[in-house]
Chain A
Amino acid sequence: MYSGNCRRKAGPGVAPLTGADRLPERKLLFWAGIYAAAGMLALYPAMPFKTGFTAVIAGLVTTIAFFLVNLYWSYCGYRGDLFLLPITAVLSTTGLVFLFRLEPAYGIRQFVWLLAGLAVLVLVSRLMIDFRFLSDYKYIYALAGIVALLLPIFFGKEQGGAKSWLDFGLFQLQPAEFVKILVVLFLAGFLTENKAVLTAGTRSIGWLTLPGLREWGPLAAMWGVSLLLLIFQRDLGTALIYFSTFLAMVYTATNRIFYVFTGLGLFVAGAAACFHFFGHVRTRVEIWLNPWPYIETSGYQVLQSLFAIGSGGLTGAGLGGGYPGFLPAVHTDLIFSAICEEMGLLGGTGVIILFMIFVYRGIKIALSSRDEFAALAASGFSALLGLQAFIIIAGVTKLLPLTGITLPFVSYGGSSLVANFILLGLLLNISHEAREFHET
């Protein structure tokens, strides 16, 4: 689990591997740094001196921190993917610049969380480099995950309609953000172990062959947890992420589209029941279908989002030129709308393309990985991050119902940021192993 010498992989006798000095990553980080500096300097003149100065320093320190991570990895001979860190740097500095522009107090907090996230990333890349041990205890942390998820229902604090925060006084924690990762690891382990049975089935009902209870029980439990989240925490977004990631991984492991359709059917059935029995779910759907009659009340948020995006046009109003004050929850859920208003279609598309590259690299890692657990985990992480970005962007553009989730690496939120850095670290560890496997 813990390796005493971080350089052991590139020890004597092992030929230095191409890319081990991580020069391409450093070059890309250089441009990410220029990007961050440009953003902060554009904010500087219109700000009071002190906050402007803080913003520039925060941008500078963040850039240096990313470089330090690169240099440390380079020193250790870490061979994780070279593109994921620069993409993350651009995404998270975009978020940082916009948070300073929206509300400097959030910017400063996000800056601290960003440094914490990078520290966690380094720890993950060091302590969990042999990530395979994570598949051994899957049932234990499946249980831990469920407990963590259920805690806020009893002890949680309600915020913005969703009851998914635990209050620790100094800071608040959103367990669902971390449990996402446990879910992917659990499913990767569970599906690797039960893949054969799930694919072939053990008993047949007519033409259909189905596996036994022991095999599909945990999957049904996942479905139940998703619905519980939906009902008790009113957290439609997180439920959607869990469930779609779950389906993506089951499909990838078993190649049985039947599971996907059954799952979708069950989810739709569950959602329909919720629509019927729970007023807040019904309102959400009605707002989604036609928000205009509710423009002063519940439809306000999504319409303000559309106004912001529509006002952005092709090139946007320019950084600082928009009116994010009209956007409720602009620093979390609606940050993408603010980006679209000020950076226009070009900026919005840029952010989407960054997520596309992230997913592309993730899928590439999954394809080149050494065994099924790693492949499943890598594709699960890619799907998780990609789907989360998709669901919130589709939500603010009213392609899907708007839900209260974060845009990974961009939105304000410590739990979300740190959890996504853990995800990044695990993905990098898988690629580190894969490259070693392919190149030596």
Chain B
Amino acid sequence: MKPNILKLGYLLLGLFVALVIYLSYLQVIRGPALAANPYNRRLQEYESGIKRGTIYDTRGTVLAGTGFFRGEGRRVYPAGPAAAHLVGYISGRYGRTGIESAYDRHLLGMEGIDRVRNLVNRLLGRDRAGGHLVLTVDAVLQKLAADLLGGRRGAVVMLDTGSGAVRVMASSPGFDPNYVDQTWSRLVQDPNSPLINRATQGAYPPGSTIKVVVAAGALGANPGLEREIFNCRGSLVVDGYRLTDSAAHGNIDLRKALAVSCNTVFARLGLDLKPDGFHRVIESFGLKQDPGVGIPVRPGTMVSPAAMTPAELAASAIGQGEMLVTPLHMALVAAGIANRGVIRHPFVVEKFKDSQGQTVRQAVYRPWLTAATPEIAGVLRESMVDAVQYGTAGAAGIPEMQVAGKTGSAQNPHGQTHAWFIGFAPAERPRLAVAVVLENAGSGGAVAAPIAGKLLSAAVNRGY
């Protein structure tokens, strides 16, 4: 009988071991999904018992704060629609977006010292609070950008070229994050999709703004190109497809070709780069990556090198191919040229503060990509100054200082061209880079460039 007892013992212990294994699977592997299940009311309950942290702009203006009305916590967004896409919203029914979603755990005091503090507070039956965030954006500029976009479909991104800090990230049309629950059905049905953050999720053909990238690639492959003279006859036929220009520019050098945005020259340069060379320079400017700004960014997309026909390559080199990028990507291109070829890592959160207001973590300025050599960046900068001084981007000019820029008017199947402008200022010692896009609004020089100029002017006057 003893062997049987032993077997019984093994069986019982085996059952418990199976339980431990299954419990581990349940708590560690399936745990996060179970904790986040919409039927699981724990997170909501946790939130209702905690004072969510405040989100400030770089000058201390409140962008999102929690107030108590009739004993119930309520999230208030004083900036309203102007910063709605970046800051995001929280809704019990419709989830959360933007900074509110990306830094949820910090704002709820579930990380670091606040986690310990809230554990103690709970044990002592005291109020719990979450950590605060100080963003890099400026609420006044943010509001100005939203006003300049004026409800039209489009986006504006402004970066500090030296640090990578995002000063403006605006998307239009906007929505009021204070009333997401009440206006939800209207917002999701609106054909203009106001809930989308066009600055980070909008996918646009870059139009002529991509020419600065192609120029960087061409100069990198052949530095002698700077002194070469091209002949523009006003059109180019590639594989039976005809690319036309606004005018026959005649004999021009690269600098002038960029300033007047000559399609023929850049289609030619793109074809010379070959699909692989073209991809390399697109990648060196980070266009196919999520730069990790703090909220999710749609990586740029394009036809793979193997599948790229000469016609597609020529079209892509003037920003009219299948390539799609976000305004943030193009702002980073401008910032890289402004910063002598080095793109700084972009970020939107300047400081993480704990619930007591002590800074627990600070943004680290670091380079992200080396897109071009300082010499090449210098050539591009001068061309972009020319574009503003006598080329297509004249409307971006402001009295305070010299602006450098490049326009784009991207054709698309939905009507008028998308108006693009990318640029930076002051041209001699750049501090700010900007990208503006307006969907189906006309030419970049006429529609997008003036917005960039006004915004740069306002930013400089505010001391950025």
Contacts and interface: CB of A to CB of B under 8 A. Distances in A.
Interface stretch (A15-23, A32-40, A65-73, A390-398): A390-398
Contacts of A322: 42
A382 B9 CA distance: 9
Interface of B: 1-6, 8-9, 11-13, 15-16, 18-20, 22-24, 26-28, 30-35, 37, 39-42, 45-46, 119, 122-125
Chain A to chain B: the 10 pairs with minimum beta-carbon distance, closest first: A310-B34, A363-B9, A307-B40, A345-B27, A386-B12, A311-B35, A310-B31, A252-B4, A46-B125, A356-B16
Contacts of B123: 42, 45-46, 320
9 contacts: A47-B125, A251-B4, A311-B35, A311-B42, A321-B122, A349-B24, A375-B1, A376-B1, A379-B5
Interface of A: 42, 45-47, 248, 251-253, 255, 295, 303, 306-307, 309-314, 318, 320-323, 326, 340, 344-345, 348-349, 352-353, 355-356, 359-360, 363, 366-367, 372, 375-376, 379, 382-383, 386-387, 389-390, 393-394, 397, 399
Given A363-B12, A375-B5, A386-B12, 19 more contacts: A252-B5, A255-B4, A306-B26, A306-B34, A309-B26, A310-B31, A311-B42, A312-B31, A314-B28, A318-B122, A326-B42, A340-B27, A356-B13, A359-B12, A363-B5, A375-B1, A386-B15, A386-B16, A397-B26
A340 B11 CA distance: 24
Contacts of A349: 20, 23-24
B40 A253 contact: no
A102 B23 CA distance: 22
Contact of B19 (A252, A383, A399): A399
B13 A360 contact: yes
B8 A312 contact: no
A309 B29 CA distance: 12
Nearest to B35: A311
B16 A348 contact: no
A310 B30 contact: yes
A397 B16 CA distance: 13
A340 B23 contact: yes
Contacts of B45: 323
Contacts of A382: 8-9, 12
A399 B27 contact: no
Contacts of A359: 9, 12-13, 16
A262 B231 CA distance: 95
Contacts of A383: 8, 12
A82 to B, nearest CB: 19
Nearest to A376: B1
Given A310-B34, A387-B12, A45 B124 contact: yes
A271 B5 CA distance: 28
A214 to B, nearest CB: 22
A278 to B, nearest CB: 27
Contact of A314 (B20, B27, B37, B41): B27
Nearest to A348: B23
A53 B254 CA distance: 85
A387 B34 CA distance: 27
Contacts of A394: 19, 22
Contacts of A348: 23, 27
A373 B311 CA distance: 92
Given A45-B124, A255-B4, A310-B33, A318 B119 contact: yes
Contacts of B3: 255
Contact of A393 (B1, B19, B122): B19
A345 B1 contact: no
Contacts of A321: 119, 122
B124 A46 contact: yes
Contact of B28 (A311, A345, A353): A345
- Most chain A CB atoms below 10 A, which of B2, B4, B12, B20: B12
A220 to B, nearest CB: 22
Nearest to B33: A310
Nearest to A313: B31
Contacts of B19: 352, 390, 393-394, 397, 399
A367 B9 CA distance: 10
B22 A399 contact: yes
B27 A313 contact: yes
A397 B40 contact: no
A395 to B, nearest CB: 11
Contacts of B26: 306, 309-310, 397
Nearest to A340: B27
B37 to A, nearest CB: 7
B403 to A, nearest CB: 53
A313 B12 contact: no
A340 B23 CA distance: 9
A379 B8 contact: yes
A252 B5 CA distance: 6
Contacts of A311: 31, 34-35, 40, 42
A366 B5 contact: yes
Which of B27, B40, B41, B45 has the most chain A CB atoms inside 10 A of its CB? B27
Nearest to A316: B27
A364 B53 CA distance: 57
Contacts of A379: 5, 8-9
Given A367-B2, A379-B5, A397-B26, A352 B124 contact: no
A37 to B, nearest CB: 15
B169 to A, nearest CB: 34
Nearest to A303: B39
A295 B34 CA distance: 14
Nearest to A365: B5
A363 B20 contact: no
B45 to A, nearest CB: 5
A390 B16 contact: yes
B232 to A, nearest CB: 65
Given A306-B34, A307-B40, A386-B16, A397 B23 contact: yes
